[in-house]
Chains A and B, each alone.
Chain A
Amino acid sequence: MTISGEFETETFAGAAISCRRGERLVFAGLDFSLVPGGLLLLRGPNGSGKSSLLRLMAGLLQPAEGSLSWDGVAIGRDGDSHRRRLAFLGHLDALKPALSAAENLAFWCGHGAVEPALSAWGIDHLARRPARLLSQGQRRRLALARILASKATLWLLDEPTNALDDEAVTIFAQCLAGHRASGGMAVIALHGESDLPGATLLDLAAFAP
C-alpha cells in the first residue's frame, strides 16, 4: 500500500449496480463508495435487497449490471484478495452445535484470536460450552466475536443486532467504533433505529426499479 504512493486511501465502491434474483430485478443503478473509517447503513423495506447487496459486496453474488471495485480494481478479478479482507455475517450464525464456543471460533480465526474476542463480547465464561446449549443472543454474540477476531478490513453485517440485549448492542457499538478508528470499513443492514455516529445512509427503496 505504501509503495504505490499516489492512492494512500483505499476505497470500496460500486457503480451502477443492478441485482437480479430469479426473474425479479431487485434494485438498479445503485452507486456507493466507502473510505477507511466509513460506515454505510443499508435501509429499506423487506425485500428491497439489503441482504442481496451485502452478498454482492462479499462476492457471493454477481451483479446483473455494473461493477464493484476495491482501489479501482474490480473485485471479481481478484477474488482471493477480496475474500481475505472481508468478514461476512449473514442471517445464519455458521456455528456447529457439537463444537464448543471456543472450538467454533478457533476453526475460523485460529486459536490465538479466541480469548480476546470472547472476552470483548463478554462470553469468555461460555468458551467450553457446546454451541447447541447457547441461547439465540449468545450465539449471535459468538458470531460477532468471529467478525471481530477475523481482523478483516471490511465488515459486511446483515442485521447484526438481532437477538442482542442492550449490553451486547453497546459492545457492538464499541467494537464497530474501534474497527473504524483503526481504518476499517463496515456495511451494515439494519432495520430499527440506530444511533451509530457518522454513518452514511443508503436507502434501497430509492433504487427500486
Chain B
Amino acid sequence: MSGVTFIALLRRDLLLIFRQGSDALITLAFYLLAVMIFPFGVGPEPDLLARIAAGLLWTMALFAALISLDRLFQQEQEDGGLEQLALAPLALEWVFLAKAIAHWLATGLPLLVIAPLLAFLLGLPAAGIGTLVVALALGGPALTIVGAVGAALTLGARRGAVLLPLLVLPLYVPILIFGVGAVDAASVGLSASPHLLLLGAYLLAAIPLAPWAGAAALRIAVE
C-alpha cells in the first residue's frame, strides 16, 4: 500500500478534527470555564488571583490536555484504521508523531492563544504574560506528546479514561513546576530562562522518546 505519508496523515487528521469540530471546541471551552470558575471558589481578591494565576493556568492546561487525549487513538482502533496504519509503509513512530502534532495544533494552539487573555483577566503582571506564552509554547507540546504515550498505553483498557491521568500526571509534574516557575520568576523581575531552558530540554527529550514508546504501545494494541 502506498500513499500514506507523514504529511498526508497530518493533513487528514487536521481535516477530521476540523470537520468534526467538537473535540477542539470542547477542550477550549473546558479551559475557559475551568479557569473562570476559580475566582468564584477562592474569592475575587485581585492580589490572591494574581498570585495563583500562573499555577491555575498551568494546572488547567494540564487537565485540558488530559481530557482531550483519551480519544486520540481510540477512534482509529474502533474503525480499524489503526491496523491499516500499522500495515502502512509509514513507521508507527511517525504515525504517532503525526497524530500528536495534529492534536496539539487543534487543541494546544488555541489554549496558547487564549491563555494570555485569561492571564490578563486574572491580573498577572505584564512581564509574566509574555513568559507564560513562551512557557506554554514549550510545555504545551510536551504535555501532548507525553500524554499521547499514555493514550496509546491505555488503548483497549476498560477504564482507559481513568487510567490515563494516573499514568501521565506524574510525568507532567516537571512541566508544571518549570512552567509555573518561569512565570513566577518573570513576574517578580527575575530571569525566567533557567526554567524555560529546562522546559525546552524536557520537550527535546520527549520528541524522540515518546514516539518510540508510543509506537510500541500501539503495536501491542493491534495484536
> Which residues does A use to contact B, with CB under 8 Å?
58-61, 80, 83-84, 86-88, 90-99, 103, 106-110, 113, 150-152
Decide if B3 is an interface residue (CB 8 Å cutoff).
yes
Query: Which residues in chain B, 1-29, are within 8 Å of chain A measured between CB atoms?
Result: 1-4, 8-9, 12, 15-16, 19-20
The CA-CA distance from A6 to B16 in the complex, in Å, is: 49
The CA-CA distance from A117 to B83 in the complex, in Å, is: 22
Decide if B45 is an interface residue (CB 8 Å cutoff).
no
Decide if B117 is an interface residue (CB 8 Å cutoff).
no
For the complex with contacts A108-B1, A108-B88, 8 further pairs of A-B residues with Cβ separation under 8 Å are: A92-B83, A93-B80, A94-B80, A96-B16, A97-B79, A98-B20, A113-B3, A152-B1
Decide if B87 is an interface residue (CB 8 Å cutoff).
yes
Docked-complex contact B79 and A95, CB < 8 angstroms: yes
Nearest 7 pairs between A and B by C-beta?
A92-B80, A110-B3, A94-B80, A98-B19, A94-B84, A150-B1, A94-B81
Decide if B89 is an interface residue (CB 8 Å cutoff).
yes
Residues of B within 8 A of A61 (CB): 223
The CA-CA distance from A152 to B55 in the complex, in Å, is: 54
Q: Beyond A60-B223, A98-B19, A98-B20, is A83–B88 a contact (Cβ under 8 Å)?
A: yes
Docked-complex contact B80 and A107, CB < 8 angstroms: no
User: Which single residue of chain B is at the shortest CB-CB distance from A83?
Assistant: B87
Docked-complex contact A84 and B3, CB < 8 angstroms: no
Residues of B within 8 A of A106 (CB): 3
User: Which single residue of chain A is at the shortest CB-CB distance from B81?
Assistant: A94
Q: Beyond A94-B81, A96-B16, is A109–B3 a contact (Cβ under 8 Å)?
A: yes
Docked-complex contact B16 and A98, CB < 8 angstroms: yes
Decide if B86 is an interface residue (CB 8 Å cutoff).
yes
Q: Beyond A107-B4, A107-B12, A113-B3, is A88–B84 a contact (Cβ under 8 Å)?
A: yes
| In the complex, per-residue mask of B81-104: 1 if CB is within 8 Å of any chain A CB, else 0 | 101101111000000000000000
Residues of A within 8 A of B204 (CB): none
User: Which single residue of chain A is at the shortest CB-CB distance from B4?
Assistant: A108
Docked-complex contact B16 and A109, CB < 8 angstroms: no
A99 interface neighbour in B3, B9, B12, B222, Cβ under 8 Å: B12
B1 interface neighbour in A87, A92, A93, A99, Cβ under 8 Å: A87
- Nearest-CB distance from A163 to chain B (Å)? 15
22 CB contacts below 8 A, A to B, read A59-B87, A60-B86, A60-B222, A83-B87, A83-B89, A86-B87, A90-B83, A91-B80, A92-B78, A93-B79, A96-B12, A96-B16, A96-B81, A97-B79, A98-B19, A99-B12, A99-B19, A106-B3, A107-B8, A108-B84, A109-B3, A110-B3
Query: How many residues on B have C-beta within 8 angstroms of the other chain's C-beta atoms?
Result: 23
- Nearest-CB distance from A27 to chain B (Å)? 17
> Which residues does B use to contact A, with CB under 8 Å?
1-4, 8-9, 12, 15-16, 19-20, 78-81, 83-84, 86-89, 222-223
- Nearest-CB distance from B218 to chain A (Å)? 11
Residues of A within 8 A of B2 (CB): 84, 109-110, 150-151
Residues of A within 8 A of B9 (CB): 107
Residues of B within 8 A of A93 (CB): 79-80
Residues of A within 8 A of B79 (CB): 92-97
- Nearest-CB distance from B71 to chain A (Å)? 14
Interface centre among A88, A99, A107 (most CB of B within 10 A): A107
Residues of B within 8 A of A94 (CB): 79-81, 83-84
Residues of A within 8 A of B86 (CB): 60
User: Which single residue of chain B is at the shortest CB-CB distance from A58?
Assistant: B87
Residues of A within 8 A of B20 (CB): 98
Residues of A within 8 A of B223 (CB): 60-61
Docked-complex contact A99 and B87, CB < 8 angstroms: no
The CA-CA distance from A66 to B52 in the complex, in Å, is: 62
- Nearest-CB distance from A174 to chain B (Å)? 21
Residues of A within 8 A of B12 (CB): 96, 99, 103, 107
The CA-CA distance from A99 to B19 in the complex, in Å, is: 9
